[in-house]
A and B are shown apart, each in its own frame.
Chain A
Amino acid sequence: MTQSNETLLDLYRLMVVTREVDLAVSEIDGHWHGCDGEEAVVAAAYMGLRDGDTVAPHYRGSLVAAYARGADLARLFAGIMGKATSYNRGRYRSDICGPPEFGVIGLYSGALGPPLSYATGAALAAKLDGTDAVAMAVFGDGSSSRGDCHEAMNFAASLKLPVVFLCQNNQVAISTPSRDRVAGTVADRALGYGMPGVQVDGNDAVAMVDAVAEARARARRGEGPSLIEGLTYRARGHFVSDAADPRPRDEVEAWRARNPIRLFRDRLAGDGVADTAHLDAIDAEVRDQVAAAMAQAQTDPEPGADVLGADDVYA
């Protein structure tokens, strides 16, 4: 599939947003689970969706998913601090749970897995309504071991639901390497469920966006789900202040050298899609946007006692 230059530059921009969000939030939240090194998978997963589509993002990248669906960055940042201006007024955290009004299904408890079924349910609704909407069900390599993941895949494949399953395989779950506790490859599981499955170089932005486009097109045509495994690498600790990263230094360094933003930049410049001045301008514009949003969020008000809303649990 060939993507337009416009799409490629949108993709580049979203990758830069992912990086700048990471840098900005890392400064205020030691518990932030960053996306350094995984920007190509994250941006490709959430770019270019239409109104009516649904995403159940992997928690790592959740905030970018909400932004890509149209949520306001300052309000998302406010949600990291629980400010009154956040989409839920401070009741819940925006780093793992995006606003549903943008078609985002977050983690409503801290449990990985269940959102994959919620995405499948959104796809079921689209099928029942006869629309061509799709659902993105995104998960980590570690989360691929959850029963919910297997159940969602079998359910979606047997009912031919328009779901794109995307594994953001950063090759580790907290301290556990995927090679130790994920049997076989995630992509190969697709065979067992009778759907297409591909493993893609997750640091190659173009390969990622191509794979996602193909899977979405298939889903929109009513041909059922697909599984994409984006093989990438978590370039930092599990969260910002995670001092205990046991992975071999040389392995970490080798992957850092394959930084997906840098690789994509070189390719865009090399292919003549944009010159470096243009790319630098995108970088600067994103940096300013992120800085302004963070400055705004930091001065936003804290929630008042009324937000606790003891009588608000029922719809």
Chain B
Amino acid sequence: MARQTFQEATVAAIAHEMRRDRNVFIMGEDIGAFGGPLHSCKGLWDEFGAQGRVIDTPISEGGFVGAGVGAALAGKRPIVDLMFLEFMGLVIHQFGLDGGAMHYYSDGKAKVPLVVRAKYGVGPFHGHAYDFHSWLLNVPGVKVVAPATPSDAKGLMAASIRDDNPVLFMEHMGLYHAGREEVPEGEYVIPLGKADVKRRGRDVTIVASALMTKRALAAADILAQDGIEAEVVDLRTLAPLDEETVLESVARTGRLVVACEAVKSGGSASEVAALVVEKGFAHLKAPIARVAPPNVPVPFHRELEKLYLPDAGRIAEAARAAAAA
């Protein structure tokens, strides 16, 4: 075990995979000797730079994500550091519409083992906060991963690199340098598409991911003081969704709150809610609550930002209402 931050654990997984498989390489802006904004690639240049496997790119997102798709088609396993998730808007065509379709449209002959990493999230870095992952849930063929802890970041990054599909790996800036935990050393792989029950409880299920998982766990502490036992299901992978774990939990609790950092309209929380309505309706004892930001762009002033983003109090409140219904 090593005590690592989210950022360190993520980079450790990348380094491990780069040692293991020479087809893995990484490219992005300022990731070479500089080490990447917010240290996103710290240490990789020293170990792999001389091999030409850590590549500084021009500010040409469409070009280098497209080149990532092309290199993946040619047998490489590229990792692209997109820097910030808001730039997904510039590359959704290459990454999603084309990259996600190639395997299916070629009847299995093409595959695109590409990881795009991106920082996002309301947090200490005041800007580039947009959480746009929900868009990609509407694009067949891509996977979306959003870890909540350093260990999960490590295991999920390893699995993302080994996966044969385009994967978006989301790195929340509010979790990035926010404390260390024990992370398994060496080989550590967490399968994609599997949720993790981060806390057991019988009264209400709270489904979340990334920073919202942390806040859901804090909400569960608040609820415990009132004698309400919340179960926290951390999705870890938003696409494909682990339907089984969500449905199994709701079957026991009968109550569902979904916390999400993406805006409510068209957000991934709606997908979880729809799943439970469709396949778990008989178990529901209360209306489903979605706790998510209002339908506005992330506001700038810190107080507005706080009003925008769900906190533990608001998640607890929704869970309390569900439990009382």
Contact = CB atoms under 8 A, between A and B. Distances in A.
B299 A111 contact: no
Contacts of A173: 29-30, 59
Interface stretch (B125-133, B154-162, B200-208): B125-133
A145 B304 contact: no
A146 to B, nearest CB: 6
A307 B34 contact: no
**B interface, by DSSP: helix, strand, loop or mixed?**
loop
A145 B59 contact: yes
B58 A182 contact: yes
B164 interface: no
A61 B304 CA distance: 26
A313 B300 contact: no
A90 B304 CA distance: 8
A31 B126 contact: yes
B221 interface: no
B295 A82 contact: no
B299 A307 contact: yes
A109 B120 CA distance: 13
A190 interface: no
A10 interface: no
A82 B305 CA distance: 11
A113 B59 CA distance: 9
Interface string A199-223: 0000000000000000000000000
Contact of B60 (A93, A145, A174): A145
Interface stretch (B73-81, B83-91, B212-220): B83-91
B308 interface: yes
B63 A147 contact: yes
B58 A310 contact: no
Contact of B300 (A91, A142, A174, A180): A91
A91 B34 contact: no
A110 interface: yes
A283 interface: no
A310 B294 contact: yes
Contact of B299 (A90, A142, A176): A90
A111 B87 contact: yes
B296 interface: yes
A48 interface: no
Interface string A34-62: 00000000000000000000000000000
B294 A92 contact: no
Given A175-B34, A307-B299, A142 B308 contact: no
Interface string B88-127: 0110000000000000000000000000000000000011
A309 B59 contact: no
5 contacts: A110-B84, A110-B127, A113-B59, A146-B59, A173-B30
